[in-house]
Chains A and B, each alone.
Chain A
Amino acid sequence: MSQTVTDPKSGTANADRSMAFLAFVAIVFLGYIILRDISLKHAVLFMIGTGLGMALLHASFGFSGGWRNFIRDGDSRAVRAHILLLALASAMAIPILAGVFPSLHASPAMGPVGISVIVGSFLFGIGMQLGGGCGSGTLYTVGGGHVRMLITLSFFIIGATLGSLHLGWWLQMPSLGKISLITELGWPVALVAQFALLGLLFFIASAIESRSRQPIMKIFDDEALGITRHRLLYGPWPILWGVVALAIFGLLTLIIAGYPWSITFAFGLWGAKIWTALGGDLSNWAFWSGGYPEKALGRTVLADITSVMDFGIILGAVLAASLANRFAPEGEFNIGNIMTAIIGGLLLGYGARLAFGCNIGALLGGISSASVHGWLWLVFAFMGNIVGTHLRVMFGIDEPIGSSG
């Protein structure tokens, strides 16, 4: 059914050409519809989404697996790459958000420093480990054709919709409100403070890894410098390429969309639209009764930037996975991993709604906006990941920690 081809240069890379062709046609067709019916801006952001999907898949840039490796084995490579991404994104976004460049207008990703973010990020962290993906990770692994992740995504959407129903109640819990380091400290001091904190985290992660292995594993090496067109298209990418690509695409999103890259608002929107289509009544759901959510609900889903970027990520990942011949890998299915995908998906969706975003909207967007809620998210999501990692052992998904030697 699928046609494979051997690359004459490497002799090893096999592309699923028929699937890659279908993905390419789908990207061009959807891009054209968005351009024709919505706007050039939306079409460009859709294409940025496809770039993000390709980068995420080729670099296997997931947060869940990387954090789990760190918690289980002290392997800090992915965690250090995430810290670098946060530093790079902060350096790019904070001057723009502070108005250093008068021609660029962008809004920060702000959230309240309060109970809703604490509870939401903690639940999201557990969900990351049970569901097997974060916000970006779920999208690109779905695009990679992982059937289990379709279950996670489905319940992610349900969880995000339920979260939007309850958000008003959670927001009545104690909160310090929005706190911006740019406003409190001025942007140069805010940027230096963020670098100092991220540098400290980088040092701690390296020190923890050095207790179990010497020297610690590198994230910079000669491999990262060998950029070729073949490797860019077919992968795999060194993790450093993923860091740079995500930072650049994130910057473009900030400039063009006018706010940081986000993912999970769209899931709640899709759930609310499905609920409405099934005859459900959202008129007494406060979240969907005002502001942008109400407008988004009343318009085509292709007019919502978060949605078109999410579609782009999925299709970009399909294309990348097909080019790398990694599309739709064989997977083991049993009642255990179906149940954990369901529970994980619900926790991811509900948690993301309470926490004002996922690892992208709240962590990357929040910290690169110098919003304190992003830091709060990091602390409590990591704690949730520790719990989730132990739950995976309890549910028999992973071997006991330390058993692998």
Chain B
Amino acid sequence: MKRRASKIIFGSALSVAAIAVAIDHTRHPLPEPIAVEQRATSADEGVATIEDQQSEEAPCAMDGAPCAMGEAPCSMD
């Protein structure tokens, strides 16, 4: 396969993917913005504090899958 053909196929695939992401992005409500008081705390305490607000949503351990169905994925305890 020639480079030009590869570029056309790649460009087409990337365009389809971009359209799919755009459709998905516009179909769902955006996440709630960070509250003002939380934002101030985050600025004071750095990046790790920003994570605190969303840590319960992190797919960390097991790529988001529970170890056993219903078990919290992120806890080592």
Contact = CB atoms under 8 A, between A and B. Distances in A.
Interface of A: 1-2, 19, 33, 37-41, 103-112, 145-147, 150, 164, 167-168, 171, 177-178, 180, 182-183, 255-260, 262, 264-265, 273-274, 277, 286-287, 290-293, 295-296, 298-306, 311, 327-333, 353, 356-357, 361
Contacts of A257: 51, 58
B57 A183 contact: no
A381 B44 CA distance: 44
Contact of A145 (B7, B24, B47, B50): B7
Given A109-B62, A306-B63, A331-B1, 10 more contacts: A38-B31, A107-B58, A111-B61, A258-B58, A262-B63, A265-B65, A291-B72, A300-B28, A306-B59, A361-B63
Contact of A262 (B23, B55, B59): B59
A259 B73 CA distance: 12
Contacts of B21: 301-302, 311
Contact of A331 (B6, B51, B57, B73): B6
| Residue picked from B13, B64, B76, most chain A C-beta under 10 Å | B64
Interface in B25-73: 25, 27-31, 34, 45-48, 50-52, 54-55, 57-70, 72-73
B61 A171 contact: no
Contacts of A264: 63
Please classify the interface of chain B as helix (H, G, I), strand (E, B), loop, or mixed, using the class held by over half of its residues: helix
Contacts of A150: 9-10, 13
A151 B62 CA distance: 26
Contact of B60 (A108, A299, A327): A108
A302 B65 contact: no
Given A291-B73, A331-B6, A105 B51 contact: yes
Contacts of A292: 57-59, 64, 73
B3 A330 contact: yes
Given A178-B67, A328-B6, A105 B52 contact: yes
A37 B30 contact: yes
Contacts of B29: 299
B62 A111 contact: yes
A110 B62 contact: yes
25 contacts: A1-B4, A104-B48, A107-B55, A109-B60, A112-B67, A147-B9, A178-B76, A255-B47, A257-B51, A258-B54, A259-B74, A262-B59, A265-B63, A291-B65, A292-B64, A293-B64, A299-B28, A302-B21, A303-B28, A328-B3, A330-B2, A353-B65, A356-B62, A356-B63, A357-B63
A307 to B, nearest CB: 9
A293 B64 CA distance: 6
Given A329-B6, A356-B62, A105 B55 contact: yes
Given A168-B69, A257-B51, A300-B30, A108 B61 contact: yes
A252 B47 CA distance: 11
Contacts of A178: 61, 67, 76
Given A41-B51, A112-B67, A145 B6 contact: yes
